[in-house]
Structure 1
Amino acid sequence: MRQVILTVIVVVVGSFVQFWAHSADRVVADGVAAQVNNNFITISDVMLMVQPAQRQLAAKYSGVELKSQMQVVFSNALNSLIERKLILDAYEKQENKFPDAYLDSRVEEITQDMFSGDKADLMTALAKEKLNYEEWRKDMRDHVIASTMRKMHVEQNIAVSAKAVKKAYDENIDRYRANSKLRLRMIVLTMDASAPQKAQEIRQKIIAGADFSETAKEVSEGRNAKEGGDWGLIQPSKLRPELAETVLKLKPGEISQVVSIEDQCYIMKVEEKKDSYSDLHSQIESEIRKVEADKLHAVWIERLRKDAYVKVFDTGLF
């Protein structure tokens, strides 16, 4: 039997203790999550990436459901790390490399954004994560390379026409309007036997010419009463469904009928709507661009996979 050279690493991740080993002709055991060409992605690499999501899921789920949710998160994180390895390997194979000055300047920009240029804060953060500066800088440099490669192979190849934006707007106008923003004022009364009648009287007073804002300051029991019932710019989809349905039908300047919902009565005024084609053009273009980017990214990664050796191991964690 050929001698197997074992490298045993104890990886402690949460409650998991894993061992892995490799030799010239085989990979043994279960501490390796995947292999991309000559690079290994360990379970600890993946678990480090999913830690924030793991804490959130653990607070929300337990038992079988937590295990199921973690399986999805783990798989997504592993795929992201595999893609990054593929991209970095592709970069190493290409003849034209990015200038060191460009990569270093981008790393400095990231440092500035994350730590306001304060290296002492950076070093403190790295110490908490038990990382040294050179490891962090290499990781940031790899991040810059991967993002720049994506920009070259994906984002720069996307063109969204005005015709495509208009078509998307026309075909999905109800959805876009529900998620657009409008400026809303609201008078809120706590529900009791007299509230519906009182609300009707207040509405009639406003219809007759009373200022909505001043009336709200006088009679509203809502949290924004002091501001004249002003909710600012808000998406209808963020409101209770009954209220959203009502405000979507209102034109700017119109006053709603009294809407009674269980514990409260509402009178609403829409002052401004930002749901026209011109208002939503940039948002729709961004959505289309993202969809196209995801498609091109998938095609690009699949092409890189075909030219690489990729093996995903059964970790047995979930």
Structure 2
Amino acid sequence: MTISPHMIEAYYQEHVRDFLQPDRVKLRMIYLPPESGTEVEAVGKEVLGQVESGVDFAQLAKKYSEYNRAGGGLFQENGGWVERDGLKSDLADVAFQLRPGQASGLLSLPTAQGTKAYYILMVEEVKKATVTPLTSIRDAIESTLVAAESEKVQKDWIDRLKRDAYIERFL
């Protein structure tokens, strides 16, 4: 089965949205769960002060955070890279406004139990939205087209067999 370069390019143009890589940030997070309200807020303010004075964010996350302590607060999926829809909307709004190397303030978000959890975010890198170039996905598109064409040929063959078959039923 032969798939022409023109067919690959046409498929790419028709499905270009499927190859969009959305904005992403490489994110570290210090998460302070809602244990005893004002004490947690005080700890959060103390940690934020240390962040602002230049103390290493990863070391502070290892010491204080309840989120990925061993990884220094690095977001756990995809080597720390997260898309906007991978975060709570309140956190995403802040994270995607930060510049590389910049930390958020102390963020207070309500929990389902009616208490507050505290977060400090640090963006290490930012990747703006891009479209994956055709050259890097040409083989994958060709495989998709070959599979679709094979499925169509098989379906046509089965339909032809059904249409041309003589079936006699004895009751």
TM-score band w.r.t. shorter chain? 0.5 to 0.7
Unmatched tracts of structure 2, length 5 or more: 166-171
1:260 aligns with 2:100: no
Deviations 1:120-166 (CA, angstroms, capped at 9, x unpaired): xxxxxxxxxxxxxxxxxxxxxxxxxxxxxxxxx3xx5164449947x
CA contact (8 A) 2:3 2:145 kept: no
- Which residue of structure 1 aligns with residue 168 of structure 2? none
- Which residue of structure 1 aligns with residue 80 of structure 2? 233
3-state SS of 1:203 partner: helix
- Number of residues of Structure 1 aligned to a counterpart in Structure 2: 148
1:211 aligns with 2:56: yes
Q: Distance in 2 between matches of 1:248 and 1:162?
A: 34
- Which residue of structure 1 aligns with residue 3 of structure 2? 157
1:184 aligns with 2:27: yes
- Inter-CA distance 264–295: structure 2 relative to 1 (3 Å threshold): same
Residue 298 of structure 1, CA deviation:
5.0
More helix by share: 1
- Which residue of structure 2 aligns with residue 193 of structure 1? 37
Q: Distance in 2 between matches of 1:219 and 1:272?
A: 22
CA contact (8 A) 1:189 1:220 kept: yes
Q: Distance in 2 between matches of 1:294 and 1:246?
A: 43
Matches within 5 A, 1:2-81: none
- Inter-CA distance 164–221: structure 2 relative to 1 (3 Å threshold): same
3-state SS of 1:304 partner: helix
Residue 189 of structure 1, CA deviation:
0.8
- Inter-CA distance 268–164: structure 2 relative to 1 (3 Å threshold): same
Q: Distance in 2 between matches of 1:239 and 1:293?
A: 37
TM-score by length of 1: 0.36
Residue 309 of structure 1, CA deviation:
1.6
Deviations 1:15-34 (CA, angstroms, capped at 9, x unpaired): xxxxxxxxxxxxxxxxxxxx
Task: Name the aligned partner's letter for residue 185 of structure 1.
Answer: R
- Inter-CA distance 220–277: structure 2 relative to 1 (3 Å threshold): same
Q: Distance in 1 between matches of 2:104 and 2:4?
A: 43
Matches within 5 A, 1:234-253: 234-236=81-83, 237-253=85-101
Q: Distance in 1 between matches of 2:102 and 2:62?
A: 19
- Which residue of structure 1 aligns with residue 169 of structure 2? none
Deviations 1:237-272 (CA, angstroms, capped at 9, x unpaired): 444444344434433322234333315211111213
TM-score by length of 2: 0.58
Q: Distance in 1 between matches of 2:88 and 2:4?
A: 38
Q: Distance in 2 between matches of 1:213 and 1:308?
A: 65
- Inter-CA distance 256–162: structure 2 relative to 1 (3 Å threshold): farther
Structure having greater relative contact order (Cα 8 Å, sep ≥ 6): 2
CA contact (8 A) 1:158 1:292 kept: no
Residue 211 of structure 1, CA deviation:
1.9
Q: Distance in 1 between matches of 2:10 and 2:43?
A: 50
- Inter-CA distance 205–177: structure 2 relative to 1 (3 Å threshold): same
RMSD across aligned positions (CA)? 4.1
Task: Name the aligned partner's letter for residue 225 of structure 1.
Answer: R
